[in-house]
Structures are given as C-alpha cells and as structure tokens.
Structure 1
Amino acid sequence: MDLAVVIVTWNVRELALQTLRSLYNDLASSGLSAEVYVVDNASADDSAAAIAQAFPQVKLIASSENLGFVKGNNLALRQIMDSPAPPRAVYLLNPDTITQPGATRALYDALFASSRVGLVGARLSYGDGSFQHAAFAFPGLRQLWVEFFPTPGRLIESRFNGRYPRALYAGEQPFAVDFTLGATMMLRSEVIAQTGLFDEAFFMYCEEIDWAWRIKTAGWDVLCVPRAHVVHLGGQSTGQARPQSVMHLWTSRLRLYRKHQPAWKFHIARLMIAFGLWLRLRREQNPALRQTYQMLYQMARQA
C-alpha cells in the first residue's frame, strides 16, 4: 500500500463529504494505492452515517466521544501503524479542504524524491482563491512581539514573523520549511515509527508544530510543495466558543515553548505572554473572555 489518508471530522458533514469527493477524484488518477480512514468525533449532524452511505469504501471509525483533533488522528494512526503491512506514507487531511487535481501525487513524489525528506505539506489557498500561508518558521520571541505589540505591516508578512516569501509558493520547486499547517501533512511511515504520534498533551493547536519540531530534531527535512494545491476553507471544524478556543491556544503555546525552547527563552516567552494577556484583559469587555484572560495571565506568570 502506498498511502493511508486520515481525516478527523466533527459536525462538518457537508464539508467532509466535499473533502472526500475531491480526494477520491484526485486519487483515481494518481496511480497510488490508497486507503482512506475517517474518524468521526461523535458528530451530532449524522456525519458518520452520511459518509458511510456516500463512501462505503471509507474505513470509518465512529468515536463515542469528541476526542479532539490530536487523539482522533492518533486513533487512526495506531490502527494503521499496527497493521501487518503499514503503507509507505500517511496523509493527514483536514475535513474542510478541497484537493485540486494532481495534489496528492505531487506530495507523494516530493516525499520520496530524497531519502532525507520526512514530512511534506501542500500549497494552500482560501475558498475565494486568495493566498494562505501554508508553512512557517518555528515560533520564537519575535512572533510573540507581533502577537501583542504594534508592528509594521511589512514585518508581519516577513520572516520576522515566521513567514516564507510568497514567491516561493509561486514557484515549481519544493522548499524547506520548519513546519507545515496541519491541514495537509504527509509523512513517511518510518518517520512516524521513529518520532511517535501526535503528543496528546496538545488537545488543540500547536500539535503539528510540536511534531514537525520532533521530526526535524530527528534529522529529517520538512518541505512545502507548491505543485500540490489544496483549498483550505479554514477553521470550519473548530466550532467552539471563543473563550474555550483562546484557552486551548495559549495553553498549547506555553506548552510548546516549554517543551522545545531553552529555559532562558521559555522564561522570556512566558513573561511576554503574561504581559500581552494582561494588556488584552484590560481592553476586553466580554465577561467570559475577561475570565479566560485572567486565568491565562495567572497561568503564564506561574509557568
């Protein structure tokens, strides 16, 4: 088997069906032998039944609870990696994507073009066709500055803020990056065997950054592949109240800095985060968000 595709869904029935249609259309002309796994996180919109009816060939894993993105992917990944003959590669794909013709094959070819490449991701665009950053440099102190403090626009769209030049996306050649967005991640199975699965301490946000960091630390290259174009509608599967999303985001960011940055940089990062959250707390009028920022501020101070 060349490829196993994993899609995790939660209350995005129509988007997931669209994602599967475009994926299967692309796989049909790719020349790849592939299986598609869908993990449904106890959706209330009959996603699992609709997917089973429309795509009976899908290996459907219907969870009885919302496991989140990380545990949902890991559930399928364990099944794939524990099989007697794992595929050469595994492709993690968001349920709010539309695969453009040739994208899957372009990713697969780039992944195996060099023995050094362990992870690849696609070029992304939004639903209206506009540009979307698909890959970034690992977050450091400069990104935190941009997050909280006034910054010239030219720096926001630059390497100062972890962005790669748009000209690279417009080219034909894959280019080296630190990490790709979790919307499209294709990995060698041997990389998964070597580095492990997603870290389940990250319920939501930063999980793909953490995994890419571990992959690069293990000596593998990570590439963005411009010839592989995927439309990423973005954020449709989150569906959370904003305070909960904010809590998950900053809890994960603190965890990421602690795990991968040297102690001195983590100390500076948590102070910057604490001060930035205090500034937001002062400006915020929503009571629920104020409470969330207060909790996060105390967490950052004591981290």
Structure 2
Amino acid sequence: MDTLAIVILNYNGQPFLAKFLPAVLANANGHPVYVADSASTDSSVSFIRTNFPDVRVIELPRNEGYAGGYNRALDFIHTHYERPTYYVLPNSDIEVTPGWLAPVLALMDANPQIAACQPKIRSYSERNLFEHAGAAGGFVDWLGYIFCRGRVFATFETDHGQYDDNRPVFWATGACLFVRSKVFHQVGGFDASFFAHMEEIDLCWRLQRIGYEVWTCGQSTVFHVGGGTLHKSNPHKTYLNYRNSLFMLYKNWPADGWLWPKILLRLMLDGASSILFMQLGEWSDIWAILRAHFAFYGHLPTLHRQRKQLQKQQIKEVKLYPHSIVWQYFAKGKKTFAEMIN
C-alpha cells in the first residue's frame, strides 16, 4: 500500500505544470503523483501525458472548484487505487523543495491524532517572506477572521527561523495540505458548496470538533506563487472569501447563544471594509461583498441543517483566538503574530 498520494488539482494551469511538476516528481520519494484535471480548456491533459507519462491523470467531468474537485479526485483514488494513509494536496503553483515530505510524514506518523498538517509556505517571488495562503499555520478570531503565523492582513514577516517549530494550529493551508485519508473520508471531505477558498479552514474546524488535531511542521518549506487560478484582485475571489467566511462561522460557531450577535457584527464589519474598496475605486469588489451577504442569507436553511448535524457529532470544544484581529491590527497597531498573541 502507498503511504502517500500526491494529488494536484489543475484547471487551465499548463504553464504551472510545466514549471513546477518536474520538482514534484523529482522529490516524490517514490510516492505516486496524480493530476486531477477539472475539465481544462487548454492542453493540460495532453501535455501531461506527453511529457510526464509517470503521472496518473484523473479527468474530472467539470470544474467544481477546489472543494468539489478534490472531493471527486480523492474519492476516485480511494475507490480505484490502493488506499494511501495520507494525501498531500499541493497547488499547481507550488514549488516543492528537497526533503519536503519526510518531516511532515514523520510528524503525523508519530501522532495519530494529527489529521491535517502543513509545511511553511513562503513567497515564490519574495523568497524570504511568508506567503499569504497559510504562512506558518493559521488561526481564526472570535468573529471568524483568519490570520497566520507570519502573515496578518497585509503584513508579511521575513522568515528568520522564528516559526521552525512543530505545533498545533487552528487551520492548515489548502495550498499544500497534508491530510490523513481515513479521516478525510470519514468527515465527508470538503464542503463542496464553498467551491474555493476557506474550505480547508472549515475542514480543519470540523476535524478538531471530533477530537483530531491540526499542526504545522516547521522543518518543511515550499514556495507559493499564489493566485494561480483566481488572482487576489479578482472580485469573484472577494465574493468567495466573504461568503465562505460567513458559511464557516455559521456552521461551526459553538452553541453558546451568541451566534447571531456575532454574525450581525461580522456583517457590519464586512460592510465597513467596503469603504476601503470605495477609496480605491474598486466598485466591483463592493458589489461582490453585497452578493456574498445575500448568498449567505439564501443558504441559511442548508447551513442550519449542517450546523445541527455537526453539533450532534461534536465531542470537543474548539478554542478560537479570543480577540478581534481587526481591532488589534488597525486600532492597536499590532502587526505580527507574536504581537497578537502577547
């Protein structure tokens, strides 16, 4: 049985595959490499089959985003191949490094309670800086806003070894997510309604609610281009981030009676963030935030059913960062993870 399956989801990403797939294969340590193609309209599939015959290609019938695409791909591997102990899901725009696999696998082997893990994520273009998508492990504040060790909002720290430890975190990035396969299928994988963005945070929250742990491994490093499928300035990305954050918060917030006050405060803060987009003249992003809120309202019946089901399954209360990172960052001037924690 293969210990690990390396699975890359691709949508019209042939340039990234040409650039980064050789390093993945060179550093796969004998583990099988899969590319799950989400009905690309470029020549990705023929390019892989011509140039990388050792790669196992899974052709998906349509583009269902990160969440639905990986659900289909990992179900296919689970059904048609020898079932691995772990999956690792590097984005197509991830540059792996020699020895990137061994430290993470050793950490997860040593602690069966670790269901998900990530390496350090540094920027491909500014290689000493931590990258936006995950940095050195992520956290969630009491209003559902996310931040990372090494990245808080637009402040990116230089990696000088301050996060080289192995430790629990709240969420591990989907840019290069290691996940225990048995547990992934046990919880039903990603929530496909998210399509893309924050589905890995929702997954990590659910994993912790049933007693598992999420870690970051400081002995492994990869580099991330970022925005390979949706650029950070794309209004659809704004829409998905705002909508999915509300989805995640409603589904997973503890049953303590404070859900709706927090949701209403979040909606107000989201609205206030529109002022920044207004100052920048980015009206399409303001419309994206409004659409995200209306999509949240429309999805409430489904979210409520999911919330009730998750509450029945829960065996462990999950702790969030007990302060507002918006207040800490913008009002108190705390720009780094260390300042936030202190």
Q: How far apart in 1 are the matches of 2:103 and 2:218?
A: 9
The question of whether the paired residues in 1 share the 8 Å contact of 2:5 and 2:84 is answered with: yes
Partner of 1:294: 290
Partner of 1:24: 25
Say which SS state the counterpart of residue 182 (structure 1) adopts. coil
The question of whether the paired residues in 1 share the 8 Å contact of 2:169 and 2:215 is answered with: yes
The more displaced of 73-82 and 232-241 is 232-241
Decide whether aligned partners of structure 1 residues 143 and 200 sit closer, same or farther in structure 2, where only a CA change above 3 A counts: closer
Say which SS state the counterpart of residue 106 (structure 1) adopts. helix
RMSD of aligned alpha carbons: 3.0
- Say whether residues 1:51 and 2:44 are aligned partners: no
Q: Map 1:7-156; keep pairs closer than 5 Å.
A: 7-27=8-28, 30=29, 33-83=30-80, 85-127=82-124, 128-129=126-127, 130-132=129-131, 133-141=135-143, 143=145
Say which SS state the counterpart of residue 12 (structure 2) adopts. coil
- Say whether residues 1:273 and 2:266 are aligned partners: yes
Say which SS state the counterpart of residue 222 (structure 1) adopts. strand
C-alpha displacement of 1:101: 0.6
C-alpha displacement of 1:215: 1.3
Q: How far apart in 1 are the matches of 2:199 and 2:144?
A: 20
Gaps of 5+ in 1: 147-155
Residues 232-260 of structure 1: per-residue CA shift (max 9 Å, x gap): 11121225872222221111111101100
Give the aligned residue type for 1:24. L
The question of whether the paired residues in 1 share the 8 Å contact of 2:117 and 2:177 is answered with: yes
Decide whether aligned partners of structure 1 residues 279 and 37 sit closer, same or farther in structure 2, where only a CA change above 3 A counts: same
The question of whether the paired residues in 1 share the 8 Å contact of 2:239 and 2:285 is answered with: no
The question of whether the paired residues in 1 share the 8 Å contact of 2:130 and 2:150 is answered with: no
The question of whether the paired residues in 2 share the 8 Å contact of 1:120 and 1:180 is answered with: yes
C-alpha displacement of 1:143: 3.3
Give the aligned residue type for 2:62. E
Q: How far apart in 2 are the matches of 1:85 and 1:271?
A: 47
Alignment coverage as a number of residue pairs: 287
Partner of 2:186: 194
Please, which of 215, 225, 237 is the counterpart of residue 233 of structure 1?
225
Q: How far apart in 1 are the matches of 2:3 and 2:212?
A: 20
The question of whether the paired residues in 1 share the 8 Å contact of 2:138 and 2:169 is answered with: yes
The question of whether the paired residues in 1 share the 8 Å contact of 2:9 and 2:35 is answered with: yes
- Say whether residues 1:218 and 2:217 are aligned partners: no
Say which SS state the counterpart of residue 186 (structure 1) adopts. strand
C-alpha displacement of 1:18: 2.5
Q: How far apart in 1 are the matches of 2:151 and 2:286?
A: 32
Q: How far apart in 2 are the matches of 1:293 and 1:234?
A: 22
The question of whether the paired residues in 1 share the 8 Å contact of 2:120 and 2:216 is answered with: yes
TM-score normalised per structure 1: 0.83
Give the aligned residue type for 2:19. Q
C-alpha displacement of 1:103: 0.4
Give the aligned residue type for 1:16. L
Work out the percentage of aligned pairs sharing the same amino acid: 23
Give the aligned residue type for 1:269. K
Say which SS state the counterpart of residue 74 (structure 1) adopts. helix
Gaps of 5+ in 2: 301-342
Decide whether aligned partners of structure 1 residues 116 and 271 sit closer, same or farther in structure 2, where only a CA change above 3 A counts: same
C-alpha displacement of 1:44: 2.8
C-alpha displacement of 1:228: 0.9
